[in-house]
Chain A
Amino acid sequence: NAGVTQTPKFRVLKTGQSMTLLCAQDMNHEYMYWYRQDPGMGLRLIHYSVGEGTTAKGEVPDGYNVSRLKKQNFLLGLESAAPSQTSVYFCASNRSPLGREQYFGPGTRLTVT
């Protein structure tokens, strides 16, 4: 099992460009999450999904969109990147409702210039 994988690992964007981050999990988990991690601020929830075809806003959703067309994939999109979106992005999943443990991917480091 690969667990939770994320692509790409690194990306540099210019302000106004768009991109999509891909998260994939092979654990048949229902719930998936996107977080951003900034220095001194811990992990903050951007969007999450409780199953295929469903998405919901988290704590800091502005400037991001998500889609969950397949159970194993959760996509995070930036339509018009801004320097404030420079961060490390982590995807996570958990089994729910039985499992509380979140499994994290290795992260994507995004720099917006």
Chain B
Amino acid sequence: QQQVKQSPQSLIVQKGGISIINCAYENTAFDYFPWYQQFPGKGPALLIAIRPDVSEKKEGRFTISFNKSAKQFSLHIMDSQPGDSATYFCAASSPSTSGTYKYIFGTGTRLKVLA
């Protein structure tokens, strides 16, 4: 119930195309869903995040679509560029009894955008 399932494992997209990465969760206590972008040799960096009271959030070329009833959320990268080539992680977070937040990460999607 604590897992976050992410797919696909890898993705190749042509420049200008749309990249779509999907995540699914089980625990309804999750109340914050971030996406992280990680370049080789670097730490993950927050890209965009959503809370379950909205169905979509857009920031530039990046959009999160959230389906609360299906317990699924996805990242859409419009007009994908070679500079978007990175590993993307979804995560789900909930408050924990210790006073901090629990974060469960997906297994990552390696995106390659061809020039």
In the A-B complex, the 4 residue pairs with the closest CB atoms: A104-B43, A42-B105, A43-B105, A42-B107
Q: Which residue, B9, B45, B46, B101, has most C-beta atoms of chain A within 10 A?
A: B101
Knowing that A96-B100, A100-B93, A107-B42 are A-B contacts, what are 5 other residue pairs whose CB atoms are under 8 Å apart, sorted by A's residue number?
A4-B43, A50-B100, A101-B46, A104-B44, A106-B42
> Does A41 make an interface contact (CB < 8 A)?
yes
**In contact, B106 and A105 (Cβ under 8 angstroms):** no
Tally of contacts, chain A with chain B, CB under 8 A: 59
Q: How far is the CB of A4 from chain B (nearest CB, A)?
A: 7
Q: How far is B41's CA from A105's CA once the two chains are assembled, in angstroms?
A: 11
Q: Which residues of B contact A31 (CB under 8 A)?
A: 100-101
**In contact, A107 and B43 (Cβ under 8 angstroms):** yes
Q: Please, how many residues of chain A have a CB less than 8 angstroms from a CB on the other chain? A: 25
Q: How far is the CB of B70 from chain A (nearest CB, A)?
A: 21
Q: Which residues of A contact B41 (CB under 8 A)?
A: 106-107
Q: Which residues of A contact B46 (CB under 8 A)?
A: 101-103
> Does B78 make an interface contact (CB < 8 A)?
no
Q: Which residue of A lies closest to B2 (CB)?
A: A59
> Does B49 make an interface contact (CB < 8 A)?
yes
> Does A74 make an interface contact (CB < 8 A)?
no
**In contact, B100 and A48 (Cβ under 8 angstroms):** yes
> Does A90 make an interface contact (CB < 8 A)?
yes
Question: What does the 1/0 interface line of A39-77 toward B look like (CB < 8 Å)?
Answer: 011111100101000001000000000000000000000
Q: Which residue of B lies closest to A90 (CB)?
A: B43
Q: Which residues of B contact A40 (CB under 8 A)?
A: 9, 107-108
Q: CB within 8 Å of A: which of B1-47? A: 4, 6, 9, 32, 34, 36, 41-46
